[in-house]
């Protein structure tokens, strides 16, 4: 029996590159995740505002026009509902020097292999969260 969309872990995919965003959505949905997608940080916050519960994971491009992934992470820290949501940062730029503690749980270099994406999503979306009450 297949789980309904509401019972599947939800992954929010945020990337300004439509091809990468759609590929990530396709790979995740093929593995049983429900997905939401946004083209930048502002659109992501708009989607998140309409949710009753936070997503199980946020897959976040770090370098986008408008609100990039770093600004998204800074603002996210002030939102109680999102503080415990794991974030996978994605970037095609060298990420070796990214040492800022911005709430990034893992880094996924672009281009990525589908197996890498699914491994991280499966591992992080299933991580238990602390109670926020």
Strand partners, 109: 91
Give 13 or 74, the one with higher predicted confidence.
Answer: 13
What does the pLDDT look like over 30-41, one tens digit per residue? 999 999 999 999
Does the pLDDT of residue 129 top 80, yes or no?
no
Mean pLDDT of the chain: 85
3-state helix, strand, coil in the chain (%, to 5): 35, 20, 45
| Domain limits, the chain | 10-125
Fold entry, domain 10-125:
Rossmann fold (3.40.50)
- What is the pLDDT, as a whole number, of residue 83? 84
What does the pLDDT look like over 39-66, one tens digit per residue? 999 999 999 999 999 999 999 998 888 8
Taken in order 131, 36, 68, 49, the sign of the CA dihedral is negative
- Which residue do the tokens 């939401």 mark? 36
What does the pLDDT look like over 69-120, one tens digit per residue? 888 988 988 888 888 899 999 987 665 455 555 778 898 988 899 999 999 9
User: What is the average per-residue pLDDT within 117-133?
Assistant: 74
């Amino acid at each position: 029996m297949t789980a309904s969309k509401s019972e599947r872990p939800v992954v929010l995919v945020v990337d300004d590159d439509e091809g990468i965003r759609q590929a990530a959505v396709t790979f995740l949905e093929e593995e049983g995740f429900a997905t939401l997608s946004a083209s930048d940080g502002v659109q992501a916050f708009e989607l998140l505002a309409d949710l009753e519960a936070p997503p199980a994971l946020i897959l976040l491009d770090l370098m986008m026009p408008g609100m990039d992934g770093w600004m998204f992470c800074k603002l996210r820290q002030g939102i109680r509902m999102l503080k415990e949501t794991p974030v996978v940062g994605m970037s095609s730029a060298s990420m070796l020097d990214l040492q800022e503690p911005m709430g990034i749980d893992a880094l996924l270099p672009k281009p990525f292999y589908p197996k890498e994406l699914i491994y991280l999503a499966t591992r992080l979306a299933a991580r238990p969260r602390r109670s926020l009450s």
